[in-house]
């Protein structure tokens, strides 16, 4: 996909700022390393202007009815679906994932607009029965105010709508900072909202210097909530720096998801689910499987079938037909995967398949889908997010022991169990210290359900009515009345 040499990427108070008048940075295609376009490299001044625009737009946006706000979100949903193929192609070009996955992501991203268009009219309050006859007690949900949203590159479309759709439905105004690797999907989403009739200043977009933009949001009294998806380190930084103004926070951070394949699992199903979990988006997903525990009685069958299927995965440019694994996002990502592999092999892991870079004639950051056995608990792959296509497999033989292992991490985002027994599914789900448990399901992220981690995987929920609660304050009104 060829775009113009330069693309406007800063949108404040309903106006696109001309990229010709700004510093720029280049966006690259991670499959070919070719430059796609240049976008504006904004910082403090642009962020301050965006916050100011959002603060003033908030005053009218919050006073519109939920129904009025939902009309714009519905319209944006329709526009996004109509354009899903083109948007998918842009997403693949900047991020690398296979086109089919990219189009699927765009449709999922539109799904958040639809869900919160529906929820916009359903921000219910409460009427609390008073213990005193002469009082009436009301709880009124009201939008928190201006929201600073910082999003990652692994899901350049859905991570944005998952944040801004509930915020907008609730009546908040937004300053959005997308990841520098993937600003193009963000630009398209903002254009869609503009086309759908979003009033000026309600949604603002600033690309550029992450630290300067983030710090300006943090330093502003007017930004009342920071919503962030990304690394745990940056999440902790935002949490610390939010203290001065006591901002609300919604953080979706890292994970280290275990998959547990029990002896009563359907092995064919387990293999195909494990493949999806590990290799979707090339393992660059905060809920993807990081480690797999397989019961000793099914280990041989699982490994044999898994190896067969992994060998069939086609690697390449995501726009090519049949490709299942695109490139990693950048050089650092590739280096991290190589470091995890080296560490595992040095400490005795066996490479069942893969185990090296892929050299298929493209310049991008490709790595072969890799399965490791003989892995031990102290290896990097078993503790840190690899964010790449390495699947370490360990054998277990006791339910309680494997639950302890699964829980033995500072993370607590998603965990998966494969079993055909209902009692086990319920029992183990309850004991796993995770915000999300998938039982024979590895794609739990949907618009209608609360997605979010515990422990160092984050605070708050995205999706479902819980996702909108993040952007609402419950104002309590106590009224004395004459009886
Ligand atoms: P990753 O390592 O997966 O890229 P990051 O947490 O670094 O994860 O990035 C997620 C988002 O956070 C991106 O939009 C990135 O630009 C942004 N970011 C990185 N550092 C900072 C920072 N110091 N302040 C605010 N945002 C930041």
Domains, the chain, ranges and CATH? Answer: 6-253+456-476 (3.40.605.10), 257-446 (3.40.309.10)
> Does the Cβ of 152 fall within 6 Å of ligand 1?
yes
> Does the Cβ of 231 fall within 6 Å of ligand 1?
yes
Indicate if 252 belongs to the active site: yes
d(CA 321, CA 87): 17
CB distance 223 to 250 below 8 Å? no
User: What is the distance in A from the centroid of ligand 1 to the CA of 268?
Assistant: 38
User: Choosing from 101, 105, 119, 252, which is the catalytic residue?
Assistant: 252
Tokens of 416: 């998966």
Query: Nearest to residue 251, comparing CAs of 480, 450, 460?
Result: 460
Tokens of 274: 């494990």
Q: State residue 23's pLDDT score.
A: 96
- pLDDT, one tens digit for every residue, the chain (483 residues): 667 899 999 999 999 999 999 999 999 999 999 999 999 999 999 999 999 999 999 999 999 999 999 999 999 999 999 999 999 999 999 999 999 999 999 999 999 999 999 999 999 999 999 999 999 999 999 999 999 999 999 999 999 999 999 999 999 999 999 999 999 999 999 999 999 999 999 999 999 999 999 999 999 999 999 999 999 999 999 999 999 999 999 999 999 999 999 999 999 999 999 999 999 999 999 999 999 999 999 999 999 999 999 999 999 999 999 999 999 999 999 999 999 999 999 999 999 999 999 999 999 999 999 999 999 999 999 999 999 999 999 999 999 999 999 999 999 999 999 999 999 999 999 999 999 999 999 999 999 999 999 999 999 999 999 999 999 999 999 999 998
User: What is the distance in A from the centroid of ligand 1 to the CA of 284?
Assistant: 15
Residue nearest ligand 1's atom 22 by CA: 211
> Does the Cβ of 239 fall within 6 Å of ligand 1?
no
Indicate if 286 belongs to the active site: yes
User: What is the distance in A from the centroid of ligand 1 to the CA of 75?
Assistant: 30
Cβ-based neighbours of 131, under 8 Å, separated by 6 or more: none
CA angle 395, 341, 345 (to 5 degrees): 65
Kindly give the pairing relationship between strand 146-150 and strand 135-143.
unpaired
206-245 pLDDT per residue, tens: 999 999 999 999 999 999 999 999 999 999 999 999 999 9
> Does the Cβ of 98 fall within 6 Å of ligand 1?
no
Query: Nearest to residue 468, comparing CAs of 151, 144, 50?
Result: 144
User: What is the distance in A from the centroid of ligand 1 to the CA of 459?
Assistant: 17
Residue nearest ligand 1's atom 19 by CA: 210
Q: Is 1 helix (H, G, I), strand (E, B) or coil?
A: coil
Q: State residue 260's pLDDT score.
A: 98
Q: State residue 431's pLDDT score.
A: 98
Q: How far apart are the first and last CA of the chain?
A: 71
> Does the Cβ of 180 fall within 6 Å of ligand 1?
yes
Q: State residue 377's pLDDT score.
A: 98
Q: Which mutation among 150, 211, 286 tests ligand 1's pocket best, with the greatest number of atoms within 8 A of CB?
A: 150
Q: How far, in whole angstroms, is CA 437 from its chain's centroid?
A: 16
Instruction: Name the one residue in this structure whose structure tokens are 């930004």.
Output: 223
405-448 pLDDT per residue, tens: 999 999 999 999 999 999 999 999 999 999 999 999 999 999 99
Tokens of 454: 């515990």
d(CA 178, CA 187): 9
Give the containing element (helix H, strand E) for 110.
helix 99-119
User: What is the distance in A from the centroid of ligand 1 to the CA of 177?
Assistant: 10
- Hey, how many other C-beta atoms are within 10 angstroms of the C-beta on 267? 17
Q: State residue 2's pLDDT score.
A: 65
Tokens of 294: 């397989």
Q: Where are the alpha helices (DSSP H) in 294-453?
A: 299-312, 331-346, 399-407, 422-431
User: Choosing from 286, 288, 385, 470, which is the catalytic residue?
Assistant: 286
- Hey, how many other C-beta atoms are within 10 angstroms of the C-beta on 360? 12
CB distance 261 to 440 below 8 Å? no
Q: Is 177 helix (H, G, I), strand (E, B) or coil?
A: strand
Q: What's the Cα-to-Cα distance from 60 to each of 65, 143, 227, 483, rounded to whole Å?
A: 10, 12, 22, 37
Q: Where are the alpha helices (DSSP H) in 152-282?
A: 158-170, 183-195, 210-219, 232-241, 267-279
């Amino acid at each position: 996909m060829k775009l113009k040499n330069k693309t406007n990427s800063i949108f404040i108070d309903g106006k696109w700022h001309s990229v010709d008048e700004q510093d720029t940075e280049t966006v690259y295609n991670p499959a070919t390393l070719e430059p796609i376009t240049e976008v504006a490299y904004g910082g403090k001044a642009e962020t301050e202007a965006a916050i100011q625009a959002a603060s003033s737009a908030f005053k009218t946006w919050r006073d519109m009815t939920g129904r009025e706000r939902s009309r714009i979100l519905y319209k944006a949903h329709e526009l996004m679906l109509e354009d899903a193929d083109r948007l998918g192609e842009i997403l693949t070009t900047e991020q690398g994932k296979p086109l089919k996955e990219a189009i699927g992501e765009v449709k999922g991203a539109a799904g958040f607009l639809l869900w919160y268009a529906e929820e916009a009219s359903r921000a219910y309050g409460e009427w609390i029965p008073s213990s005193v006859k002469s009082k009436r007690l009301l709880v009124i949900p009201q939008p928190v105010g201006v929201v600073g949203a910082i999003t990652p590159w692994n899901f350049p479309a859905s991570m944005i709508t998952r944040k801004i759709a509930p915020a907008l439905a609730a009546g908040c105004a937004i300053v959005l900072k997308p990841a520098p690797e993937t600003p193009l999907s963000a630009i398209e989403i903002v254009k869609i909202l503009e086309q759908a009739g979003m009033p000026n200043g309600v949604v603002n977009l600033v690309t550029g210097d992450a630290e300067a933009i983030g710090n300006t949001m943090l330093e502003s009294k007017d930004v009342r909530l920071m919503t962030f998806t990304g690394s745990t380190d940056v999440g902790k930084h935002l949490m610390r720096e939010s203290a001065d103004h006591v901002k609300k926070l919604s953080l979706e951070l890292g994970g280290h998801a275990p998959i547990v394949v029990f002896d009563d699992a359907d092995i064919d199903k387990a293999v195909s689910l494990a493949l999806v979990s590990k290799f979707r988006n090339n393992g660059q997903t905060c809920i993807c499987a990081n480690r797999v525990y397989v019961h000793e009685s099914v280990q041989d069958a699982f490994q044999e079938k898994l190896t067969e299927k992994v060998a069939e995965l086609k690697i390449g440019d995501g726009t090519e037909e049949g490709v299942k694994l695109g490139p990693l996002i950048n050089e650092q990502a590739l280096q991290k995967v190589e470091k995890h592999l080296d560490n595992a092999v040095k400490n005795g892991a066996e490479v069942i398949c893969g185990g090296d870079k892929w050299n298929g004639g493209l310049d991008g950051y490709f790595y072969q889908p890799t399965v490791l056995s003989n892995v031990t608990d102290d290896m990097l792959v078993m503790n840190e997010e690899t964010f790449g296509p390495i699947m370490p497999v360990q054998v277990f033989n006791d339910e309680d022991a494997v639950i302890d292992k699964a829980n033995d991490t500072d993370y607590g985002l998603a965990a998966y169990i494969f079993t055909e027994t209902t009692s086990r599914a319920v029992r183990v789900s309850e004991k796993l210290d995770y915000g999300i448990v998938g039982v024979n399901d590895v794609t739990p992220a949907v618009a209608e359900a609360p997605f979010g981690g515990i422990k160092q995987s984050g605070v708050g929920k995205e999706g479902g009515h819980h996702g909108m609660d993040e952007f609402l304050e419950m104002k309590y009104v106590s009224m004395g009345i004459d009886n």
